[in-house]
Amino acid sequence: MRTVQVSHITDAIKEMCIQVNYELSPDMRRVFEEAERTERSPLGRRILGQLSQNLEIAASDRIPICQDTGMAVVFLEIGQEVHFEGGSLEDAVNEGIRRGYGEGYLRKSVVDDPILRKNTGDNTPGVIHCRLVPGDQVKITVAPKGFGSENMSRVFMLKPADGIEGVKNAVVAAVEDAGPNACPPMVVGVGIGGTFEKCALMAKHALTRPAGEHSQIPWVKELEEELLSRINGTGIGPGGLGGTTTALAVNVETYPTHIAGLPVAVNICCHVNRHISAML
């Protein structure tokens, strides 16, 4: 048994919330540079150039990359030999978010009730997903999610007979529907299988995989490549103003499912696909 003070979780989450909102991870920068090289539309190239410049200004002048600094999504992979001390783990996570968004000059975008809609003033609560894993470490991933693209995400409960073609059509339909609203070029997270909520969670988690890295499963890797090519053939382009770069990456996760179902979730993220991980 290893003891972890929850205050360390708070500190780590605070730092990660700030870091990720000012600097994109190296994988995202790489796919950006690639897009600037390959984009065919002159206006598209100009927009990609502005987005690169935006990243530079964000880092050098300490201005968040996007004003929508997101609702904080936190994935915790907790080693089953870990014992937490010093208070509630959930409270510690939210305290990290509170401090990160306060001290980091990040926007407070969370309302306390979906209908009454009063801003909580500190961007809490976050959305926390915990998984128990073997070992004595804690892996924390912070992925603040902007809602321009979140609003365009979809779950499709397909039939087994729809097969892989049905899956492809669903993903492309979601992207076409999102179009300019989701701040393209996008990163597209896809969950296939499981149950209604499991596929949505996989789609979200898929966005935290480094852009440009493919699934280890051969048919899934092929699907990712084909979807990326089809999505870039929609013509939506950077800013939705036409071009050959509509998505920077398509990341797919899969899970066993029921004999009667083929759930597919499409979680769309804008080009500001923020994700950062740490081990404690």
Partner 1 sequence: MEKRIRVPLSREDALSLKAGDYVCLTGTIYTARDAAHKRMQEALERGKPLPFDIRGSVIYYMGPSPAREGRPIGSAGPTTASRMDKYTPALLDLGLAGMIGKGRRSPAVREAVMRNRAVYFAAVGGAGALLSKAVTSAEVIAYEDLGTEAIRKLTVEDLPVIVCMDAEGTDLYETAAEEYRK
Answer yes or no whether residue 117 interacts with partner 1 by CB under 8 A.
yes
Q: Which residues face 178 on adjacent strands?
A: none
Query: Shortest approach of partner 1 to residue 114 CB, angstroms?
Result: 13
CA gap 146, 67 in Å, rounded: 9
Beta carbons of 193 and 203 less than 8 angstroms apart: no
CA dihedral 270, 149, 266, 179 (to 10 degrees): -80
Answer yes or no whether residue 67 interacts with partner 1 by CB under 8 A.
yes
Q: Which of residues 208-237 bind partner 1 (CB under 8 A)?
A: 233-237
Q: Between 187 and 206, how does the x/- string for binding to partner 1 read (CB under 8 A)?
A: --------------------
Q: Which residues face 262 on adjacent strands?
A: 158
Q: Given the complex with partner 1, which of 48 and 206 has the nearer CB atom?
A: 48
246: DSSP letter: S
Q: Given the complex with partner 1, which of 107 and 129 has the nearer CB atom?
A: 107
Report how many residues bind partner 1 under the rule CB under 8 A: 50
Q: Given the complex with partner 1, which of 44 and 96 has the nearer CB atom?
A: 44
Answer yes or no whether residue 143 interacts with partner 1 by CB under 8 A.
no
Answer yes or no whether residue 82 interacts with partner 1 by CB under 8 A.
no
Pick from 244, 251, 254, 267 the residue near partner 1 by CB under 8 A.
244
Answer yes or no whether residue 263 interacts with partner 1 by CB under 8 A.
no
Beta carbons of 249 and 208 less than 8 angstroms apart: no
Beta carbons of 190 and 252 less than 8 angstroms apart: yes
**Which 3 state secondary structure label does DSSP give 212?**
coil
Helices (H), the chain: 6-22, 26-38, 42-61, 89-103, 147-150, 163-178, 196-206, 218-232
Q: Which of residues 11-50 bind partner 1 (CB under 8 A)?
A: 40-41, 43-44, 47, 50
Answer yes or no whether residue 61 interacts with partner 1 by CB under 8 A.
yes
Answer yes or no whether residue 172 interacts with partner 1 by CB under 8 A.
no
Answer yes or no whether residue 57 interacts with partner 1 by CB under 8 A.
yes
Query: Shortest approach of partner 1 to residue 86 CB, angstroms?
Result: 30
Pick from 80, 88, 121, 279 the residue near partner 1 by CB under 8 A.
121
Segment interacting with partner 1, rule: CB under 8 A, options 159-167, 180-188, 198-206, 254-262? 180-188
Residue 275 neighbours by CB distance under 10 Å? 25
Answer yes or no whether residue 241 interacts with partner 1 by CB under 8 A.
yes
**Which 3 state secondary structure label does DSSP give 234?**
coil
Non-local (6+) Cβ contacts of 237 within 8 A are 39, 41, 44, 184, 185, 243, 244, 245, 246
Pick from 3, 38, 88, 151 the residue near partner 1 by CB under 8 A.
151
CA dihedral 140, 129, 22, 214 (to 10 degrees): 80
Residue numbers of the site for partner 1 (CB under 8 A)? Answer: 40-41, 43-44, 47, 50-51, 53-55, 57-58, 61-69, 105-109, 117, 119, 121, 146, 148, 151, 179-181, 183, 233-237, 239-244, 270-272
